[in-house]
């Protein structure tokens, strides 16, 4: 599944959305990027925290008719964790305890908006052997 650039898309519900130009983000992109906070380097088999936050650059609506339904976290193509959200009563931010047991190279966060489809954010991670 390869993300498509949002400026070229007419249907946000086909494929996975990803910003085109990080130096010139649209408001739609700012509202939907699922940012990842995590260490750049982690030790294999040593737990660490990963936080995913949607709406960091521009708040995403959190209404019954328009909200973030979930975020998923992957290491490369390997599924790690999910957080589901309700409208209004929860906000689209979640922290996970992660323990990588292989030399993955990228953390990926996916978020799904009920009106604007699925979006991805990628953050490089270096997994080194533990002490
Ligand atoms: Fe949305």
Domain CATH for 37: 2.60.40.730
Tell if the pTM clears 0.85, that is, is over it.
yes
pLDDT of residue 4: 62
Distance 73 CA to ligand 1 centre (A): 19
First to last CA, the chain: 36
Distance 78 CA to ligand 1 centre (A): 26
Q: Is 1 a domain residue?
A: no
Number of domains in the chain: 1
Distance 7 CA to ligand 1 centre (A): 16
The residue to which tokens 């995913």 are assigned? 52
Q: Is 78 a domain residue?
A: yes
Residues (pLDDT < 70) of the chain are: 1-8, 131
Q: Is 85 a domain residue?
A: yes
Distance 126 CA to ligand 1 centre (A): 31
pLDDT of residue 32: 97
Q: Are 31 and 53 in contact (CB under 8 A)?
A: no
103-to-2, 41, 119, 120, 121 alpha-carbon distances in Å: 22, 11, 25, 21, 19
Which domain range does residue 58 map to?
29-128
- Euclidean distance between CA atoms 75 and 67, whole angstroms: 25
Q: Is 4 a domain residue?
A: no
Q: Residue 82: which of 101, 64, 69, 67 has the closest Cα?
A: 69
pLDDT of residue 69: 98
Distance 115 CA to ligand 1 centre (A): 5
Q: Is 18 a domain residue?
A: no
Distance 18 CA to ligand 1 centre (A): 14
Q: Is 58 a domain residue?
A: yes
pLDDT of residue 10: 74
pLDDT of residue 1: 45
pLDDT of residue 17: 96
């Amino acid at each position: 599944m390869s993300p498509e650039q949002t400026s070229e898309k007419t249907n946000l519900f086909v494929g996975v959305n990803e910003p085109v130009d990080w130096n010139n983000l649209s408001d739609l992109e700012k509202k939907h990027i699922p940012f990842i906070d995590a260490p750049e380097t982690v030790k294999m088999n040593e737990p660490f925290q990963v936080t995913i936050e949607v709406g960091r650059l521009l708040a995403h609506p959190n209404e019954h008719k328009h909200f973030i339904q979930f975020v998923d976290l992957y290491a490369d193509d390997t599924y790690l964790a999910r957080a589901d959200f309700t409208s209004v009563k929860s906000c689209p931010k979640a922290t996970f305890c992660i323990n990588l047991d292989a030399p993955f190279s990228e953390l990926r966060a996916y978020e799904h908006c009920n009106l604007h489809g699925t979006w991805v954010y990628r953050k490089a991670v270096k997994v080194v052997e533990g002490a």
